[in-house]
Structure 1
Amino acid sequence: MGRRVRLWWWALAISLLLHGGLLGGLEWRLPHESAPPELAPIDVELVPATAPVAAAVSPSPHPRPAQKPAAPRPAAPPPLPVASPPEPPAEAAAPEAPATSVVADTAPAFTAQPTVPAPPPVEPVVAPPVPLNPLPPRIDLRFEVRYGLASGEQTLVWVNDGAHYTLTSVVGATGLTGLFYRGRFVQTSRGRITPHGLQPREFWDQRGDKYSSARFDSTQGQLTLMPEKGEPRHFAYQGEVQDVLSLFFQFALTAPPPDGQRLTYQVFNGKKLRDYTYEVRGEDWLDTALGTLRTLHIARVADDDGRFEAWLAIDRHYLPVRVLRSDDAGREMELRVRSIAP
């Protein structure tokens, strides 16, 4: 009986020791499990950033010694991932930086602007037209005409208002030639005066009792010839176009071109439209009814239409004072000036 009592007390003592160990172990681990929540306020309680700035802006007359910064706690999580906002992507920040802002000088990352549109292409620089030579509102020219054995006289009248012009040529036989050739040869050219020279619009040609006309459409680049008989004829053209009358005053308005330079025009002679090239052959002294004149010699490059040369009086508005031309049959016609008014 006494032995059982002793075993029971030993069992009770061992049970109390086991329960006490268990309870004591739990109480020892609980403080460590609750330690992390106590460190959360550290994100807000760090050293304030405004203290050094305030001291730099308004210094105190009795500055306090600098405090030794507190050593960071190794268990505290790094604050940057929590306190710093996420940086915007480069694509979103690029349009906000203007090309001439100060940010472009201090933040090179914002100067690379892949979404900024490229500057517009530079337009090619077009040279302005050469100023035209001034001409009086009206000019009357008289020429002596020789055509083979025949002789005659030509009057050429230029009238303009600064924006439009009219040119009229009248040729009639004189002397004995008038006994064989009756009637007159009349041509008229009308059109505009542009910064590049003359732009014919209408042309009339009357040879005895034969009559024809032509119209220039510069917007469509088309010339329409309306003969006295037959259907209208159409000619397409590009660039500079002149008729046989306006060509002389086109030379007068745009002279002098450099020596050796070639001038190319499409010229309507009353029947067809042809491409002609003229070259400048320099200056010549020419004896005329007006005395010895200093002239600019221009000649057409050889072609199937025969010879054409003109001498322009340099001191008389570059007006023609002598003209040589030949037809398909080789017959030559010469014009020599008799008078210029004014």
Structure 2
Amino acid sequence: MARQREQADKLRAEHGIEAQSWYRITNAADETEAEVMLYDEIGGWYGSTADQFIADLRGVTAPNLRVRINSPGGSVFEGIAIANALRSHPGNVIVQVDSVAASIASVIAMAGDRVEMAPNSMLMIHDASGLCMGNASDMEEMAQLLALISDNIADAYTAKAGGTREDWRAAMQAETWYLPDDAVEAGLADVALAVPKSGEPVEQPEEEEPDMARAWDLAAYGYAGPDRREAPKPGPPAAKAEAGPALTIALADLLDDATVARLRAAAQPAEPEPVVEPETPAVPETQPVTATAGPDAEPEPVPDPWAAAVSGITAPKPDPWAAAVARFTQNTSAASSATEA
């Protein structure tokens, strides 16, 4: 780099050319933003080198840095040094392509935290190119070096816009030009600025990810939120009412004496009659022969002593409840029979 500066100084002295800077760093009207103008070729024999640009960049203390580019490109290595200096800058770097960012200038544009395309501006990418003098081996070595440099540049586009190195190498070999909307669609730029009205500055776009809570803040419409008054505290439980005297109604007070007497008599079960076990007759050892009246007369049946013994057991016992309610059922049957007749 020092050798290049010496050669540039010697060449300018021979031709009587004053050194011209291809960049300018100034403070914008806003104290929080500084402005960098890249409005010429990058590096070269007749301009300042990258180390001078970086030294001046260190003096910028504003929290925001706007880099405005209008450059056809230039030295690859000096452009990469500038891009890395912008990446390491502590402030927020916004790159604004004012007219054209071609070749290595497009790589510098990729170093911004945000890339904006001014109306009608363009961005161009292509493979690296260079000069070589020598034999075939020198030419082959130069070809390998240019391919390596082109891969390195393709990685810068990949880091910004995604995709693969092979995809960007294909676009670089085709020397692709992008208008503002095309650059945004390809991912090389973040926003295409709108065309400003006459006499008005270019409007800055809104934040990419606005605060949704702030966007839906209803305080601007007079809404103060839900009613957050403290709920009343529960009081002591209500006292239970004292139980009054129990009301007892006797059914006998509502009926006449005859009816009450009948109900009481019906409610009392009749005493069961004692069951008398029949005596078991003695079984004679020999059964007497029954005399017949004549030869054609049938013999009288001989009583079965076992049947007589168990007759008291098998006979049904009287139902005391049926006897108690018999008078009610008999009256009802009589009334029913009278009605039917």
**Structure showing greater relative contact order (alpha-carbon pairs closer than 8 Å, 6 or more residues apart):** 1
- After TM superposition, the score normalised by the length of structure 2 is 0.21
Structure holding more strand per residue: 1
Larger radius of gyration: 2
- After TM superposition, the score normalised by the length of structure 1 is 0.21
